[in-house]
Structure 1
Amino acid sequence: MPSASRRFAVLLIFAGVALTILYFSGYSDTIDSVGAQLRPASKEATQQPIVVEDSILHGHAIAPKLGNETAKAELGRAAWKLFHTTFARFPDKPTKDESRALKSYIHLFQRLYPCGECATHFGELLQKYPPQVSSRSSAAAWGCHVHNKVNERLKKELFDCSNIGDFYDCGCAEDEKEGGTKAQGKAETS
């Protein structure tokens, strides 16, 4: 005859399996609908234009306050590196569509930024200093200016925007080595 602890273990495993089956059978419709969303869209659906209303681009910050100061500082450094590198890789002469894409990206970035109070402050800066996206140099200069506005608020040292290209290399030198005719190696500022 099996011991009491062995019977209990078998009963526990049986109960776990039964609960798992009941749990997933109750959500089969939900699982099916999620699976349908993950399937590749039809060719017609992928050719439909994506329309982003102004209310989505200019709405409130979504994330709550981020209380961990270390995480907030690390996030900020990473975000600024991403922003400045994006501006450094932006075309010298962007199309209207490329300029609209960058402007939309900046506004969505603000809304979705994981630090709520940082996102709210950045949204105020976007209202006061709208993104400049007519060229690489205007985007880089705008990004540096806005970064310095944040540095002022945080009582940090201001950055010399005339040197922005020395700190955020666009990485285009690798493209030139491969025979490409990509944009210049450093972000220019004006």
Structure 2
Amino acid sequence: MPRRQHITVLMILAVSAFLGITFVLSFRSQPEGTRHPDYTPSYHQQVSVDEGLLKGVATAPKLENATLKAELGNAAWKLLHTMMAKFPDKPTEDDSAALKSYIHLFARLYPCGDCARHFQKVLDKYPPQVATRSTAAAWACHVHNVVNKRLKKPEFDCSKIGDFYDCGCAEDGVPAKGKKEGFTPLTLDDKEGLTRGG
């Protein structure tokens, strides 16, 4: 009997030693800073945005204050036009999908409910054009004019959009002048028209 107890104790010690060594080695293979017990790893997950989420119903309440509505509208258009001016000349599929998703989510979450619902109708009729920077900028100008027409505001000459919404691109501390490497100043061609879809 005593011999069996010694074998059992030795087996328990061997298994404990094996588990202890495995535990220590698992922490040694982790990058510095991730060994803290409170560390929560962040896993890169593919985010898939479905049509239901993109084109869901806008739920913001009506914005009654006309001054706030106008300020919000001016800031929103500046953001959208500047975003189009900074969009790549030759976007990847990922760039195009991201911009399209952003525009639809922007319309859905816009803080003026009536404005959001109207803009969603505009997007249904004129889907975002994201093939190039020029088509994105022309599309944004066109839908801006659709909204301006509805609000009885003057329409903007879209051939001059590049003069109003520059990308602001520059090297560190050096203002942008002319063409930069990898960036072509925004110009709209007459042959680039708006089409339905991508």
Q: What interval of TM-score do these two structures reach, taking the shorter chain for normalisation? A: 0.7 to 0.9
Which residue of the other structure, out of 99, 102, 120, is the alignment partner of 1:105?
102
> How far has the Cα of 1:150 moved from its partner?
0.4
TM-score, with structure 2 as normaliser: 0.70
Q: Does 1:86 align with 2:83?
A: yes
Residue identity over aligned pairs, in percent, reads 61
Question: What RMSD in Å do the two structures reach over aligned CA positions?
Answer: 2.1
Q: Who is 1:7 aligned against?
A: none
Per-residue CA deviations over 1:143-169 (Å, capped at 9, x if unaligned) read 000000000000000000000000001
Q: Who is 2:123 aligned against?
A: 126
Q: Relative to structure 2, which stretch is displaced further, 81-90 or 175-184?
A: 175-184
- Within-5 A mapping of 1:5-20: none
- Within-5 A mapping of 1:174-185: 174=171, 177=174, 181-184=181-184
Q: Who is 1:138 aligned against?
A: 135
Q: Does 1:162 align with 2:159?
A: yes
Higher helix share: 1
User: Is residue 172–residue 182 contact of structure 1 (8 Å, CA) maintained in 2?
Assistant: no
User: Is residue 87–residue 187 contact of structure 1 (8 Å, CA) maintained in 2?
Assistant: no
SS at match of 1:120: helix
Q: What are the ranges of 5 or more consecutive residues in structure 1 without an aligned counterpart?
A: 1-38
SS at match of 1:121: helix
Q: Does 1:68 align with 2:59?
A: no
Q: Does 1:51 align with 2:75?
A: no
TM-score, with structure 1 as normaliser: 0.73
Q: What are the ranges of 5 or more consecutive residues in structure 2 without an aligned counterpart?
A: 1-37, 190-198
SS at match of 2:131: coil
Q: Distance in 1 between matches of 2:71 and 2:51?
A: 30
Q: Who is 2:146 aligned against?
A: 149
Q: Distance in 1 between matches of 2:143 and 2:153?
A: 13
User: Is residue 62–residue 112 contact of structure 1 (8 Å, CA) maintained in 2?
Assistant: yes
Q: Does 1:116 align with 2:113?
A: yes
> How far has the Cα of 1:172 moved from its partner?
1.8
Q: Which amino acid counterpart does residue 58 of structure 2 have in structure 1?
A: A
Q: Which amino acid counterpart does residue 95 of structure 1 have in structure 2?
A: T
SS at match of 1:172: coil
> How far has the Cα of 1:175 moved from its partner?
6.5
Q: Does 1:95 align with 2:87?
A: no
Q: Distance in 1 between matches of 2:142 and 2:40?
A: 41
Runs (4 or more) in structure 1 with deviation over 3 Å come to 173-180
Q: Larger C-alpha radius of gyration, 1 or 2?
A: 2
User: Is residue 169–residue 175 contact of structure 2 (8 Å, CA) maintained in 1?
Assistant: no
